[in-house]
Amino acid sequence: MDFLSLLLCFLFSWTLVQALLSIKRGSRTSAGRLPPGPTPLPIIGNLLKLGNKPHKSLAELAKNHGPIMTLRLGQITTVVISSSTMAREILQKQDLSFSNRFIPDALLAHNHGLFSVAWIPVSTRWRNLRKIMSSHLFSGQRLDAKQQLRSQKVKELMAYIHKSCQAGAAVDVGRAAFRTTLNLISNTIFSADLTDTSSDTAQEFKELVWGIMEEAGKPNLADYFPVLRKFDPLGIRCRLTIHFEKMIGIFNHMINQRLELRRLQGCITRNDVLDTLLNISESNPNEIDQVHIDHMLVDLFAAGTDTTSSTLEWAMAEILHNPKTLLKAKAELDQILGKGSPVEESDIARLPYLQAIVKETFRLHPAVPFLIPRKVDANVEVCGYTVPKDAQVLVNAWAIGRDPSIWTNPNSFMPERFLGTEIDVRGHDFEIIPFGGGRRICPGLPLAIRMVHLMMGSLINSFDWKLEDGVAPEDMNMEEKFGITLQKAQPLRAVPVHV
């Protein structure tokens, strides 16, 4: 209601201006045949069609208007992609035309959208930053070298859960996974934990990350009516600026400490990601400078921690909601590794049912329901339709994962559907695209895949689980909370039991 009230208030004030601009914009886009879509209302267009869970609302609209659909969201022409065929067209066949980003006003907070590798246009700068991430953060060689670190962090997670098990206390699964992922990333980059199990730092950082994701995912009048951007009418950019300043402040403190150490004679470098970035910056500042390092770290910590922990929480929720699936997973682990044995990354290839559970989780609960929005810089023809210049393009990964023309019983959790198939999540099979595809596929995919499987297998094989307060599996709350990422509305709390 708050959003609608503000919406009506601002629309009343700007009616005349928007009418003139809508007429002007309509004359520019009338040259091509737009994809079909619902009839827009004057001024506000199709804004009221979004609802509080746009991924579901737009999936329903696509059933009537097709897999490529046009909406008018205020002044902005938006094209929504809701099928694997159309996603392949956008993300693979015409990838270059759709490679630039539509930057939400909120992401201009602290100039993040102007420096972040996730948002800047495809350019020499973007290629340099992606190359640095691919070579020094997420290459197979770099990840193999850090395998022992990941194993150690998962052991620390198991030790924490073991204490809860002894006390008969419930574990907040998402929070525990977040802390583990946070410390893994911070050790990879800074060679230090950002938190420990006895402090509230992880929860504070999680709240900071979720604040960023929640604010960035909110409907924003400034995105629908760009003339309002200078006013930040809902205060979203202002609040995000505060969040970004806090996070970058944490990073700058650690960077400054490292720079001081590097200035000391005889200091031994740690050869971690931060040293690598500083070395590149000092030898060739045109490739990356301090500002780009700050915003790269925001991307790594905000996106990497939230998406990985959310995926693990959904996976655990689904197998507790479907006890037969949990029994099958435990039987596979028992047969291959032995009950209670530690799980190593090298074991994952021998655990097809565990892999199927993770794929099914990505299908039903993609961490990012809409891929990061794209923008076309010129009219582009797609399957006989024209996507007009400056249009926002949204790929509804959530809808594609539940497309009944592809998936049998699409709303049911059935890992068995992936057994004996080659369908994967690495951007080649467009039926399931939690990480996107094409040249702007998520660079952190290789690390996320390793971490989710390793933590998931360890949680299943090391403990039995029961829901807190005796809740029955069929009574679990499986509702979603919408933001840039898709969270469980009610955090999963479960009691570990010795196997």
Taking only the tens place, the pLDDT of each residue in 404-455 is 999 999 999 999 999 999 899 999 999 999 999 999 999 999 999 999 999 9
The model's pLDDT over 225-235, given as tens digits with 9 standing for 90+, comes to: 999 999 999 99
Single-letter code of the amino acid located at 4 = L
Burial of 284 (0-12, 13-18, 19+ CB in 10 A): exposed
Buried b or exposed e, range 140-157, using 16+ CB within 10 angstroms: eebbeebeeebbebbebb
Which range marks the domain in which residue 449 is found?
2-498
Mean pLDDT value of segment 382-389: 96
Confidence of residue 87 (pLDDT cuts 50, 70, 90): very high
- Do β-strands 392-395 and 76-81 pair in parallel, antiparallel, or remain unpaired? parallel
pTM: 0.91
Q: At what angle do helices 273-283 and 124-136 cross, to 10 degrees?
A: 140
Predicted confidence at residue 211, as pLDDT, reads 86
Residue 10 has pLDDT above 60, yes or no: no
Enter the tokens of residue 425. 């999540």
What was the pLDDT predicted at 294?
95
pLDDT 10s digits, 114-134: 999 999 999 999 999 999 999
How confident is the prediction for the chain on average, in pLDDT?
90
User: How far, rounded to the nearest angstrom, does the alpha carbon of residue 378 sit from its chain's CA centroid?
Assistant: 28
* Domain tally, the chain: 1
Calculate the alpha carbon distances from 142 to 266, 309, 446 in Å. Answer: 26, 22, 11
**Which of 140, 215, 206, 136 minimizes the C-alpha distance to 178?**
206
CB 425 within 8 A of CB 434: yes
Give the tens place of pLDDT for each residue, 281-302. 999 888 899 999 999 999 999 8
What is the mean predicted confidence (pLDDT) over 236-259?
93
pLDDT digits (tens, 9 = 90+) for 467-483: 999 999 999 999 998 87
CATH number of the domain bearing residue 349:
1.10.630.10
How large is the angle between the packed helices 273-283 and 290-321, nearest 10 degrees? 150
Tell me: pLDDT of 25 over 70. no
Position 23 pLDDT exceeds 80? no
Whether residue 150 is predicted with pLDDT greater than 60 in this model: the reply is yes
Quote the pLDDT of residue 9: 56
* pLDDT greater than 50 at residue 28: no
DSSP for residue 191: S
- pLDDT tens by residue, 44-77: 999 999 988 999 999 999 999 999 999 999 999 9
In 10 A of CB 21, how many CB atoms? 17
Indicate if the pLDDT at residue 269 is higher than 90: no
